[in-house]
Amino acid sequence: MKIDVAKQRILLLKDQISPSDAEKKAWEKKTNAFDALSKVTGFFSRPKDDDFELTYQEHRYQPFWHVLAKARYVYDRNVTYQVSVGGKEVRSVTFLSTDYEETNGHIHVPVVEHCVQDEQDEVFMDGVSAKNAPDLALYIKKPFTEVAGKIETLTPKGSILVPPSARVSAIMRDSLSKMIKGIQADTILEEHVEVSAIELWYRPVYAFQFAWKSKGKDGIVEVDGVTGAVASGNRIFREYLGKVLDQDFLFDIG
């Protein structure tokens, strides 16, 4: 069996949203950060802007893994086809100068099956939660830069690079286990497994933490730096501010 593994790559998605536009979007949707509380309050009165305070903001790059594995098997196998005869009166059939006796209304013809079997497994996994996230596929069609040297030289000053908690070796083991199959064959002509993509992607995210002063509550709004989508957040990554990403340990495949 031939197994090929692609070169590992780090890819940095480019910001399509400016910091000022991201902050404006966050202010417009700030009540989204407080979920049920904002909905209940909204029934009685609309909260005023001066009751909110922006207490923290960050621009971070959040990781996800993309692994694509493919397999191709070409092989022959000897089998017997069971073919119904034309009627109860048939006792034998001659096919290509070979006679086949009827058995229980059928004849049994030995043949060689020429088989081609293609398999594919594509994984998009959030690098922080270590959960499969197929929706992340939309990002690989967006503008990006391939990282050749230190990733910090390509990111704005003050941006946070979040290290992945999910390990690519585990993803690859799972993908390869799906690709390497036991096949029923008499002659194997081709057995080829290829991991054609091992990629660590970083996507930009703006996060804004607001304090709802009269309620004594804090909430986070996230603005996607690529699509501009706004959503409530559940954490910030202040602890990684100023830390250098150790790129030598990002890929742990053997």
Residue 38's pLDDT band (cuts 50, 70, 90): low
Q: What is the pTM of this model?
A: 0.85
Measured in degrees and rounded to the nearest 5, phi and psi for residue 174 equal -65, -45
- Contact criterion met (CB below 8 Å) for 232 and 32: yes
Is 37's pLDDT higher than 70?
A: no
- Contact criterion met (CB below 8 Å) for 60 and 225: no
Q: Which pLDDT tens digit goes with each residue over 174-214?
A: 999 999 988 999 999 999 999 999 999 999 999 999 999 98
End-to-end CA distance of the chain: give it in Å, rounded.
Answer: 18
Distance of alpha carbon 185 from alpha carbon 167, whole angstroms: 35
Is 36's pLDDT higher than 70?
A: no
- Mapping DSSP onto H, E and C, the string for the chain reads CEEEECCEEEEEECCCCCHHHHHHHHHHCHHHHHHHHHHHHHHHCCCCHHHEEEEEEEEEEEEEEEEEEEEEEEEEEEEEEEEECCCCCCCEEEECCEEEECECCEEEEEEEEEEEEEEEEEEEEECCCCCECHHHHHHHHCCEEECCCCHHHHCCCCCEECCCCCCHHHHHHHHHHHHCCCCCCCEEEEEEEEEEEEEEEEEEEEEEEEEECCCCEEEEEEEECCCCCEEEECCCCHHHCCCCCCHHHCCCCC
Average pLDDT value over all residues in the chain: 91
